[in-house]
Every structure is written in C-alpha cells, then in structure tokens.
Chains A and B, each alone.
Chain A
Amino acid sequence: MIEVADLWFTYPEGTIALRGVSLRIGDGESIAIMGENGAGKTTLVKHFNGLLKPQKGTVLIDGVDTREVSVAKLAKKVGLVFQNPDHQLFSSTVEEEVMFALKNLGFTSEEIKERTNWVLKFLDLEKYRERSPLSLSGGERKRVALASVLCVKPKILVLDEPTIGQDAKQKRKLGELLKKYQEEGNTVIVVTHDVEFASKYFKRIVVMAKGKVIADGPPNKVLTNPTILNESSLTPPQVAILSYEIAKKINNFPKDIVLFNDLLQEVITRVKR
C-alpha cells in the first residue's frame, strides 16, 4: 500500500513540482496517472521508490517512511520502469541485463536463475536471451527494460510512459501483460498521456495538473468530464466522444461509455429493440 500525505516538492532551480499531493493506493490496484507535461506525474512516482524524498509531507510504502530506507531496499517492493529504455540498457546480453537488478538486490543464484527464466518467458523474450539489447528494435528494447525491473517481482510496478513509440499491437500486448500481472495480486501504476490505453486497461484514473491531484476515479467518470480534461490538456477517448455525441440527440443514451465493446453492445441492444 502507498500512502502519500500532503506531499510537496521543489526542484533546486525553483520549480515547484508538487503542491500538496495526497493519495492512497491499495494493494492490487490498477492506476493510470495522467496530465500534461510538467504536471508533476514523474516527480510523484519518483517518490514511490525513494529516488526523491519528501520535502514536506510523507510517503509511506506498506507503512514504512521512504525517508528512512534506501532506494535499493525499496526497489525490492517498488519497481520503476523509465520511459526511454536506452537510459537503462547497458549489458552485453538480454539475460545479463535482467540479472543486474537481481544481483544488486542480493538474490541467491537459484532465485536469480528462476526469476530470469520466469520474466523472459512472461514477456516473450526467450528467443533474445543471448542477443545484445542494443541490437533489438525499439519495441523490443522497451520490453527488455520492463523485464529488467519486473524480474524482481515487485509488489508495486510503476511504468513511466510505457506506450510511447509502441505500435497498436505492441500496446495491446503490453496492456494485457500488465493486466495479468495486476490480477496476480500486484499493484500496477502507469504514467501516461495515452487516453485510449488508460481507459482500456486501467480501473482508476488519477489526473494531475500544476502539481496537484485534480481528479481521481474510474475512467468513465474522469475521462468524460470536460472541466477536468480541459485543465489537464487531455482529450476524451474516442469512444467517449462518440457516446457523448449520440447522447446529445438520443434520449437516455449513456453519455459516459469509454470501452468499445460497451458502446457496441449498447448500440446493438437498442437497434434490436
């Protein structure tokens, strides 16, 4: 469980990135943190594994204050995957890349082997085991970067902009993998601009603007609210626009559908009636 209470953070050059954020994330949740560039999303998630320590307020991970433990210690519980895979890949093979975190965190060689095998299988990377990560394509590198954090099996997995540079198929695959990992009882948190991805795979949307949380709720409530979207430079998902436009003309047609299949079912039942 993550408990953030009245968190403030200012960068040395004077930018106030967080202005009193309070947030509670329970075990096993699936959350998308959204908002425009510079809203403070990345600054917030860097507090989850102690890369940044609160200047005011507190961040508790399972009751432990992040100020009192090292990043390495928190890394066992909170895995943070950065946006650009090239900021972390450096090993000569994919296998070594994955083993790096496991070795740093002091797992036994038995466990290292087992977890490496598990993660390569889970992310469909077995065929690249001996390849150099740098020789892989962008989408594959992104999966290796994910593997290099996921191997620890963190109870809380955080991904910063995981869909940038991914095509539709890769996004779908990623969305499903994250869903699977979450359904095994883990918390999955993404920071993203991608309204389509967020509305499809995540149950709770946290919207940030100018260092504050301005909305927090299910996709169909948050991503269909014009005031919230306007304040955060987001646009509604296409399905929501469609449902909203239809609802304007058709009596009691729901105006907050965000999932394609829900919309399709709604239309079909009405047509058949």
Chain B
Amino acid sequence: MSYTMFSAFEFKRKDTYIHNLDPRTKMFMTLIFMTVALLFTSIVPLLITFIATLIPVLLAKSVKEWLSSLKGTTMLLVFILVINSFVRDLNFAVAMVLRLIVLITAFSAFFLTTHPDDLAQALIQMKVPFDFAFALSMATRYVPTLAREAQTIMDAQMSRGLELQRGGLTQKIRNLIPLIIPLIVNSVRRAMSIAESLESRAFGAIKKRTYLYQLKLTKGDFLFLCFLIMYFVTMIYLKFYFPFTTWMEWKLPL
C-alpha cells in the first residue's frame, strides 16, 4: 500500500515537450495554477482553471500517472466534499473539491515530469545552497528504498507471528516497536554507509563545486512562459475587473 502511494507522484522518464521544459519554468507554472485556483470559489471559473491545468498533463502524456495520484487522494476529496456541504452548501463543497483537484494536478504536472536531479540543479541555480539541494535530491532518491525496507520489516515480523491489529490501544502502540526499531537501526546503518561512499568520492572537497549539467531556458521555455503569463493576466482580469456574467455564477440545480 505504502509503496503505491509513493510511486503515484514518482517521476517517469518520457520524451515530451513538458518533460523537456526547464524545471524553473514548471515551478512557475505550478505557482500560477495554484494562485489562480485560490482566487476563485465558484464552480465555473474553477472548471476553466482545471481544464487549463490539464493541458500540461495531456501534453506530457501522463494521464494514467495523474489519475493514479488522484486516486491516492480520493479519501481526502470525499472528506472535503462532505465537511463543506455540511458547513456551507453543496455548491461550495463541489468548488472546493475542484480547487483541490487543480492543486493536485498542478503538483503532479510538476513532479511527474521533473527529474529530481534536475529539480536539485534548478534550486542550485536559484542560489539555494548545494548541501540543501543535495539533501533534497537524496531524500527523493531514497524514499522508495525506505518504503521497500519498511515493507520487508513488516513482512519479517509478521512471519514471527506479530499481529498489528491485536489488543487494545496501548498494545497496538506496543506492536509497532518491532517495526520501528529495525527501521531506525537500518536507516542509521544505511546513512553511515552512504556517508562513507560519499566521502570516498571527494564529497565536500571544496566550496565552489562545478556541475556537469547547466540548465538553460530554451525557446520552448519562453513560449510556454508566454502562454502562462497570458493565462494569468486573463484570469486576474476576470476576477477583479470583469463583472461576473450569470453563466460564470452558475450553480448546481438543486
């Protein structure tokens, strides 16, 4: 279970226009989609936003992966729908669900198409210190490894008769000890072993490190940025200067 959850947002290498965009362009894209989603609270404009957000997912040929990351959040979506229809009304609830879907889509469009190493490189070129960017890329690198390890530990202890669901609350918490201790011990051992290997490859030798790759904005990036800005300006205009016509305020026929 845990493994699929992680793999939903995992990068998959493909050769598409969106995959080949500079991570910084895509970062900007996600930021714009987020901002726009947060500007509106009614169904129609959020639907338009949603369609706009879907374009990069389609261009990236990642619909299947996007759907699986949405599937992972179904529970959350249902929860938001129910809570909001109680607190406000169904219209608002549907709008909020749409907003969340837009946010998830915007993030998937980034993470599904951006190589974690490229993300790290982008951060470095945005003047984030190397140590920080490197830690981030290491974290993404080892998340699946840790998830797999956690699964193996669980299997090993279940093979020794451990039943996680057994007993009352305190017993249930105690049931976790045989999982947590090996996980910690292994992570520490792994960290030592990784550190040893990094040291042996001259890690931290000098302050001013060089990089094999250098990210550069291309024509494709500028084109995409143009569209993004045009889209953003339109949406801002709609929000603040354009008096909402009736169809924009359309409500569910209840």
Contacts and interface: CB of A to CB of B under 8 A. Distances in A.
Interface of A: 12-13, 46, 49, 51, 70-72, 75-76, 79-80, 82, 84, 86-90, 100-101, 104-105, 134, 148-149, 152
Interface string B152-164: 1101111111110
Interface in B166-205: 177-178, 181-182, 185-186, 189
Nearest to B8: A13
- Choose among A12, A87, A134 the residue with the greatest number of B CB atoms under 10 Å from its CB: A87
B159 to A, nearest CB: 4
Contacts of B62: none
Contacts of B156: 80, 82, 87-88
A242 to B, nearest CB: 38
Contacts of B4: 12-13
Contacts of B161: 71-72, 75-76, 100-101, 104-105, 152
B contact patch SS: helix
Given A13-B4, A82-B155, A100 B160 contact: yes
Nearest to A149: B160
B68 to A, nearest CB: 9
A10 to B, nearest CB: 12
A122 to B, nearest CB: 17
B26 to A, nearest CB: 24
Contacts of A80: 156, 159
Interface in B1-19: 1, 3-4, 7
Given A13-B3, A46-B155, A51-B155, A88 B186 contact: no
Contacts of B181: 90
A75 B185 contact: no
B149 interface: yes
A104 B162 CA distance: 6
A72 B185 contact: no
Contacts of B1: 12
- Choose among B1, B7, B157 the residue with the greatest number of A CB atoms under 10 Å from its CB: B157
Contacts of B186: 84, 86-87
Interface string B133-166: 0000000000000000100110111111111000
Interface residues on B, range: 20 to 34
- Choose among A71, A76, A79 the residue with the greatest number of B CB atoms under 10 Å from its CB: A71
Interface of B: 1, 3-4, 7, 149, 152-153, 155-163, 177-178, 181-182, 185-186, 189
B158 A72 contact: yes
A88 B163 contact: no
A87 B149 CA distance: 8
Nearest to A72: B161
Nearest to B186: A86
Given A13-B3, A13-B7, A51-B155, A86 B189 contact: yes
Given A13-B4, A72-B163, A88 B158 contact: no
Nearest to A104: B161
B153 A88 contact: yes
Given A12-B4, A90-B178, A70 B163 contact: yes
Contacts of A76: 161
B178 A71 contact: no
Contact of A90 (B7, B158, B163, B177): B177
Given A89-B185, A104-B162, 20 more contacts: A13-B7, A51-B158, A71-B159, A72-B161, A80-B156, A82-B155, A82-B159, A84-B152, A86-B189, A87-B152, A87-B153, A88-B157, A88-B160, A89-B182, A90-B182, A100-B161, A101-B160, A104-B163, A149-B160, A152-B161
Contacts of A51: 155, 158-159
A49 B178 CA distance: 19
Contacts of A134: 185
A13 B72 CA distance: 13
A75 B159 contact: yes
Contacts of B177: 90
B160 A75 contact: yes
Closest 4 CB pairs of A and B: A104-B161, A90-B181, A101-B160, A80-B159
A231 B158 CA distance: 34
Contacts of B158: 51, 71-72, 75
Nearest to A90: B181
